[in-house]
C-alpha cells in the first residue's frame, strides 16, 4: 500500500473513531444537553421540590394574570400544563401563545416558581403586513414541519388558535 493511501485510511479511521466517541458521549449526556424540559417530560420524571430546572412551553392563552410585579401564567406543550409564578421583568417577546423557557424550581404546591423567564422564538421571519395577511387568509402555518411530534412543535410554534 502506498504511504499516501495508508495516511488516507489512517485519517478516515481516526475520524470515524473520534466521531463515534463524541456521539457516545453526547448520547450519554443527553439529559444535561437538553436545555429545558416540557411539562410532559416533567410528569414522567420525579423532580424534587427545590431542584433547579428549566421548563419550556407555550404561554397558554388567557392564563396570564399580573398582580403588581408578580405574574402567573400557564405553559403548555398541548398535552400537559404547568402553572408558573414569576416576579421580575419579562422579555419583550413574552406574550400569550409565545414559546418561553422558565428557570426555577417546583414548589410543594405544584406551582413552578421561576427566577428567570426567557422568550423563545421560531425561525419564521416576515414583515407585520405579511403576518396579518396570512392570518386573514387563514393560511397561517405556525410550523414549517407539521409532522413534528407535538411536544417540540408546541415549543417551537407560535400557535394562532390562541390569538
123 alpha carbon, distance to own chain's centre: 13
Near another protein by CB under 8 A: residue from 115, 121, 150, 163: 121
The answer to whether 123 contacts another protein (rule: CB under 8 A) is yes
The answer to whether 72 contacts another protein (rule: CB under 8 A) is no
- Pairing type for strands 70-76 and 112-120 reads unpaired
C-beta closer to another protein: residue 108 or 128: 128
Q: Which stretch binds another protein (CB under 8 A): 59-67, 68-76, 78-86, 118-126?
A: 118-126
- Pairing type for strands 52-59 and 70-76 reads antiparallel
The answer for residues whose C-beta is within 8 angstroms of residue 80's C-beta and 6 or more apart is: 38, 39, 40, 42, 43
Read off the DSSP letter of residue 37: B
The answer to whether 144 contacts another protein (rule: CB under 8 A) is yes
Place of cell 421560531: 122
Report how far apart, in Å, the C-alpha atoms of 9 and of each of 4, 14, 25, 128, 150 are.
9, 8, 24, 54, 43
The answer to whether 86 contacts another protein (rule: CB under 8 A) is no
Near another protein by CB under 8 A: residue from 106, 156, 157, 159: 156
The answer to whether 101 contacts another protein (rule: CB under 8 A) is yes
Q: Which residues bind another protein (CB under 8 A)?
A: 4, 7-8, 11, 14-15, 18-19, 22, 26, 30, 33-38, 56, 89-94, 101, 116-132, 144-145, 152, 155-156, 158
Amino acid at each position: 500500500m502506498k504511504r499516501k493511501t495508508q495516511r488516507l485510511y489512517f485519517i478516515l479511521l481516526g475520524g470515524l473513531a473520534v466521531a463515534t466517541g463524541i456521539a457516545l458521549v453526547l448520547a450519554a449526556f443527553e439529559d444535561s444537553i437538553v436545555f429545558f424540559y416540557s411539562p410532559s417530560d416533567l410528569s414522567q420524571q420525579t423532580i424534587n421540590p427545590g431542584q433547579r430546572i428549566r421548563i419550556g412551553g407555550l404561554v397558554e392563552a388567557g392564563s396570564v394574570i399580573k398582580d403588581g410585579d408578580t405574574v402567573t401564567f400557564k405553559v403548555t406543550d398541548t398535552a400537559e400544563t404547568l402553572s408558573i409564578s414569576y416576579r421580575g421583568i419579562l422579555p419583550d417577546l413574552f406574550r400569550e401563545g409565545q414559546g418561553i423557557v422558565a428557570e426555577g424550581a417546583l414548589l410543594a404546591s405544584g406551582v413552578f416558581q421561576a427566577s428567570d423567564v426567557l422568550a423563545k422564538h421560531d425561525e419564521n421571519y416576515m414583515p407585520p403586513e405579511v403576518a396579518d395577511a396570512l392570518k386573514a387568509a387563514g393560511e397561517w402555518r405556525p410550523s414549517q414541519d407539521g409532522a413534528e411530534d407535538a411536544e417540540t412543535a408546541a415549543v417551537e410554534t407560535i400557535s394562532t388558535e390562541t390569538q
